[in-house]
Amino acid sequence: MSSHRIQFQQTGGPDVLEYVAVDKPMPGAEEVVIENHAIGLNFIDIYFRSGLYPAELPSGLGTEGAGIVVAVGDEVTDFAEGDRVAYAQGPLGAYATHVAMPARSVIALPEAIDFETAAAGMLKGLTVQYLLRQTYAVGEDDTIVFHAAAGGVGSIACQWAKALGAHVIGTVSSPEKADIARKNGAWQLIDYTKESVPERVMDLTHGAGVPVVYDSVGRDTWADSLKCLQKRGLMVSFGNASGPVEGVNLVELNRGGSLFVTRPSLGGYADTRPRFEMMCADLFAVLESGDVQVPIGQRFDLADAGAAQTALAERRTTGSTILLP
């Protein structure tokens, strides 16, 4: 039986992506084959396609999706054909109608959570889980700064932080995106195209600054993010949308008030099966309770993955974007 996938044979722009027919994958001993019903689109996919992150060529693309198990390896005991599952980590290749995944990277999907929500929210939701619950444990009445508040991760973070009793100062690039972030629970919004983010943060916090800044933008916002922090505050740089942060000057951290910096990743937190299961349980609980909803702003056909990535890179998307096989 044939299937299709997106692949690239050289790094570059969206034009290097090819939609090709391939043989349906067979499971290894510790793998399951999943028929994808929905696939997540994430900025990290662009990093692999562009060459910022290395990939063995030719390569598939994508790490997140949800669907039905259609084949099981000989040594897999936790899953069976017909199971509803989701995944957010693993070998590249989620941009496909069928994908073979290590069973250790797959989680059973509760009936209350549909495939599109899972595909749109697994990687982003687990990212928010470690950001708000582990990297810095956000508590009631905390005031935090979250860049790209109307994006896929930001939309989830605003809701989850509000459920935890925190006040989110979100940054956005337009009034339309400000409205989206506000509806998702942001306390205050800053349009960084018109306002100084550090000055506005200091105004909102009466000069105190915030204990933590969550920054997925990278190079363009690094310096301003540091200026938003209070003494001994934590700078959480978890993405490179504008390019990687380079030339970090430790003296700046001292001058800013003994600041802390971390560059976390999902792989650094969900690094064991028990931790992965704990994080998924936390995410599924807030989804099932209704405290967090995953807004899907765009849906593209799998064959149009290049156009979807272009829209994401040009910041023309809101919420999450999914690909449909």
List residues bridging with 146 in a β-sheet: 170, 214
What confidence score (pLDDT) does residue 145 get? 98
- Predicted TM-score (pTM) of the model is 0.91
**Looking at the DSSP assignment, which residues form a beta bridge with residue 17?**
8
* Domain 2-121+270-324 shares a fold with domain 140-263: no
Per-residue three-class SS string for the chain: CEEEEEEECCCCCHHHEEEEEEECCCCCCCEEEEEEEEEECCHHHHHHHHCCCCCCCCEECCCCEEEEEEEECCCCCCCCCCCEEEECCCCCCCCECEEEEEHHHEEECCCCCCHHHHHHHHHHHHHHHHHHHHHCCCCCCCEEEECCCCEHHHHHHHHHHHHCCCEEEEEECCHHHHHHHHHCCCCEEEECCCCCHHHHHHHHCCCCCEEEEEECCCCCCHHHHHHCEEEEEEEEECCCCCCCCCCCCHHHHHHCCCCEEECCCHHHHCCCHHHHHHHHHHHHHHHHHCCCCCCEEEEEEHHHHHHHHHHHHCCCCCEEEEEEC
Neighbours of 109 (CB within 10 A): 22
10: exposed, middle or buried (Cβ count in 10 Å: 0-12, 13-18, 19+):
exposed
Mean pLDDT of the region 17-25: 96
Which DSSP state fits 151?
A: B
Give pLDDT, residue 54.
93
Q: Do 286 and 308 meet the contact criterion of CB atoms below 8 Å apart?
A: no
What average pLDDT score do residues 230-259 get? 90
pLDDT > 90 in the chain, percent: 88
- Tell me the pLDDT band of 320, cut-offs 50, 70 and 90: confident
The pLDDT tens digits for 171-217 are: 999 999 999 999 999 999 999 999 999 999 999 999 999 999 999 98
Confidence band of 62 (pLDDT split at 50, 70, 90): very high
Question: What is the predicted pLDDT for the residue at 51?
Answer: 94
Residue 325 is given by DSSP the state -
Q: Is 171 helix (H, G, I), strand (E, B) or coil?
A: strand
119-154 residue pLDDT tens: 999 999 999 999 999 999 999 999 999 999 998 899
**What is the structure's pLDDT at 117?**
97
Has residue 84 got a pLDDT over 80? yes
Q: What is the pLDDT of residues 286-297, one digit of tens each?
A: 999 999 999 899
State what percent of residues in the chain have pLDDT above 70.
100
Cross-strand pairs, 210: 229
Average pLDDT of the chain, as a whole number: 95
Query: Which residue type is seen at 216?
Result: S
Residues 205, 152: Cα–Cα separation, whole Å: 26
Task: Give me the pLDDT at residue 229, please.
Answer: 98
Separation of alpha carbons 213 and 181, rounded Å: 16
Q: Is the pLDDT of residue 240 over 80?
A: no
pLDDT bin (cut points 50, 70, 90) of residue 1 is low
pLDDT tens for each residue of 43-61: 889 999 999 899 999 999 9
Q: What mean pLDDT is predicted for residues 80-106?
A: 96
Q: Is residue 2 predicted with pLDDT exceeding 80?
A: no
Q: Which residue is it, tokens 């936790």?
A: 78
Q: Would you list the domain boundaries of the chain?
A: 2-121+270-324, 140-263
Encoded tokens for 285: 């609980």
CATH domain 140-263 topology: Rossmann fold (3.40.50)
What stretches of the chain adopt beta strand conformation (E)? 2-8, 17-23, 31-40, 59-60, 65-72, 84-87, 98-102, 106-108, 143-146, 167-172, 188-191, 210-215, 229-237, 260-262, 296-301, 320-324
Alpha-carbon span 314 to 17, nearest angstrom: 17
Tell whether the model's pLDDT for residue 317 goes beyond 90: no
User: CA-to-CA distance for 63 and 108, rounded, in angstroms?
Assistant: 16
Give the pLDDT of residue 152.
Answer: 87
CATH topology classification for 2-121+270-324 = Quinone Oxidoreductase; Chain A, domain 1 (3.90.180)
